Amino acid sequence: MPANLVRGQDADDVAAFVAANAGVSGFAVSKAISGTNGKSIFKSQCASCHTLKDAGTTGTVGPNLDQLKPPFPVVQNQVIHGGSVMPAFKGKLSDAQIRAVARYVSSVAGK
């Protein structure tokens, strides 16, 4: 699909529909999350789409984070704003939770 063909809430809705119909659990209905443990947040909000060895996840909808090895600012920006299929988590996670998951991913990816 061409980039930017669908944007904003429409993109989130399409991603949720595809994930729900592809059998990817935990994506379409986001669970309420509390606390600031980056690994726990990752496992509840990101695991169904991303591979990350430290978290024991093997999602294939999004990129393999062990291969990308993204630095903290990149992860934080992606979590806040989302991407082509990835929903934005600003407003869904607190600033502290976003920082925690970004710290976690950037510190363990590729290790």
Domains identified in the chain and CATH numbers: 8-108 (1.10.760.10)
For 65-84, give the DSSP string: HHHH---HHHHHHHHHH--S
pLDDT digits (tens, 9 = 90+) for 54-82: 999 999 999 999 999 999 999 999 999 99
The whole-model pTM stands at 0.71
Provide the pLDDT confidence category of residue 28 given band limits of 50, 70 and 90: very low
Helices (H), the chain: 8-21, 38-45, 65-68, 72-81, 95-108
Token representation of residue 56: 């024991």
Q: How large a percentage of the chain has pLDDT more than 70?
A: 70
